[in-house]
Amino acid sequence: MNWRNRIATNESWSGDISNLEAKTKVANQVSRYVKDGDVIGVGSGSTAFLALQAIADRVKQENLNVMAIPTSQEALLNCATFGLKTTTLAADRPDWGFDGADEVDAQHRLIKGRGGALFAEKLVMASAEKTYILVDDSKFVSRLGEKFAVPIEIDPRAVHLVETRLEGYPIRKIMMRMAQSKDGPLITEAGNLILDVHFDRIEDEFEKELSSIPGVIETGLFIGYSVEILTV
Ligand code: 5RP
């Protein structure tokens, strides 16, 4: 089997896909929204991978003219593997998009960015009229930040400045995200670092406040975007 075929199977996902059955159902659900001529923002992560696969199947079967705007190199590679044409935010605006999430609360506030693609994910979400957030039961929380840290992507030169500016926030712990090899810090696709910040409490204004700290590129708090939660 060549790599193209390998990567197009669920087995090829690096690591097992948790809650595969629920994620597959929700992936199939979003694939029904695809129409001829759509420009679609493509999220990152395992649920987005399954959704992309389902969408690509429809595009192929019905010979639809669809363009994808990927939110990461991983999503770009998956588009190529599944034969979906891609474009960029510089050239096109997504009609709608889909993505996964790490946490969703009752007000549909999200934490995203476990895969480190938060910067492009937010650019694409903010550009789309609507984004379907595909989640299984495990993603719903009663308090945002209950299970996951909020990733904050920062310019490497801003580490100390950002740490200082975070003093005064209700924070339990801050961890620098490490590369999988554990040899050093994870470097994002944009050449930045990620601080994983465990908050005791998250308020709506934190997203804007944190983004205004010099050196902060983006945060994994997604509050007030035009999202529709799809779940099973
Ligand atoms: C990547 C993300 C993902 O959408 C999020 O981590 C959910 O991933 P999965 O669908 O694999 O559970 O934000 O940056």
Q: Look at ligand 1, atom 6, and give the residue with the nearest C-alpha.
A: 114
Q: Are 200 and 171 in contact (CB under 8 A)?
A: yes
User: What fold, for 6-140+225-230?
Assistant: Rossmann fold (3.40.50)
Q: What number does CATH give the domain 150-219?
A: 3.30.70.260
Mutation to probe ligand 1, out of 23, 25, 50, 102 (largest number of atoms < 8 A from CB) = 102
Extract the tokens encoding 78.
């998956």
Of the candidates 28, 41, 55, the one whose C-alpha atom is nearest the C-alpha of residue 129 is 41
pTM more than 0.90? yes
Q: What interface predicted TM-score (ipTM) does this complex get?
A: 0.98
Boundaries of every domain in the chain: 6-140+225-230, 150-219
Q: What is the pLDDT along the chain (232 residues), one digit of tens a residue?
A: 343 444 445 445 555 788 999 999 999 999 999 999 999 999 999 999 999 999 999 999 999 999 999 999 999 999 999 999 999 999 999 999 999 999 999 999 999 999 999 999 999 999 999 999 999 999 999 999 999 999 999 999 999 999 999 999 999 999 999 999 989 999 999 999 999 999 999 999 999 999 999 999 999 999 999 999 999 9
Mutation to probe ligand 1, out of 104, 114, 131 (largest number of atoms < 8 A from CB) = 114
